[in-house]
Amino acid sequence: MAKEGKRLKALRDKVDPQATYSLSQACELLAGCASAKFDEGIDVAVRLGVDPRKSDQNVRGSVALPHGLGKDVRVIVFAKGEKAQEATDAGADLVGADDLVEKVSGGFLDFDSVVATPDMMAQVGKLGKVLGPRGLMPSPKVGTVTFDVGDAVRGLKSGRAEFRVEKAGIVHAVVGKASFGAQKIEENVAALFQALNKLKPSTSKGFYLKSASVSLTMGPGIKLDVTPLRTV
């Protein structure tokens, strides 16, 4: 086993692995633990009481974070004609139709989010094996399959976090940067929980928010007290 570095050991000494923290306490800890040589991301992991194998419990969505993601989000758009121009005017990094499908199929992956108009989905669907595993396939559920491409691009550029439940019933999302400070981190994390609560399936039994933790990219997980988060 690799020896734990002094930096990580010092961080672990600040966090009680057996304790659960309020969202406010956890965000204060996060802000105080940032010690890497880069601006670390804020990662959130939430275990949901759902069965992702059931289509009506396959939780997926997006949320406009109050303080954005703290990074330049690269957006490509599959669209034609006027909609292609609309996407360009909204600030999309690359816009195209069949030519863009071919480019991505050929290995181009220098982007963070994908938007497509509904009439392009037959072609974009061919990229499922490329985009799917990376969580980049456009979907109406998160507003990335739409004719309102301008609004979609602007939303993603301003800092919209997308999320989807994995097979184990866990949602992972990045909701900002350590440099935001405790207050902004807390508001972004709260926005994610608000979005998750709104998507609670009616068929979900028992507790919907079962457990959750927050962490820095290079730091230990901090367990959250999810009881108050079930009603945000």
CATH class of 19-59+165-231: alpha beta
Is 75-157 the same fold as 19-59+165-231?
no
Alpha carbon separation from 138 to 53, 144, 149, 183, 201 (Å, rounded): 20, 5, 12, 32, 21
Would you write out the chain's pLDDT as a tens digit for each of its 232 residues?
445 556 556 666 778 888 999 999 999 999 888 877 899 999 999 999 999 999 899 999 889 899 999 988 899 999 999 999 999 999 999 999 999 999 999 999 999 999 999 999 999 999 999 999 888 999 998 899 999 999 999 989 988 888 999 999 999 999 999 999 999 999 999 999 999 999 999 998 899 999 999 999 888 899 999 999 999 8
> Rounded distance, CA 135 to CA 225, Å?
28
Alpha carbon separation from 51 to 58, 180, 208 (Å, rounded): 7, 34, 11
> Rounded distance, CA 184 to CA 107, Å?
36
Sheet bearing 75-78, strands edge to edge? 94-96, 75-78, 113-116
> Rounded distance, CA 105 to CA 146, Å?
22
Global pTM?
0.77
CATH number of 75-157: 3.40.50.790
φ and ψ at residue 59, rounded to 5 degrees: -65, 125
Using an 8 Å Cβ cutoff, are 97 and 79 in contact? Answer: yes
Rg value, the chain, Cα: 19
Give residue limits of the domains in the chain. 19-59+165-231, 75-157
**What are the pLDDT digits (tens) for 180-203?**
999 999 999 999 999 999 999 999
> Rounded distance, CA 196 to CA 205, Å?
15
Using an 8 Å Cβ cutoff, are 96 and 103 in contact? Answer: yes
Q: Classify 77 in phi/psi space as left (phi over 0), alpha (psi -120 to 50) or beta.
A: beta
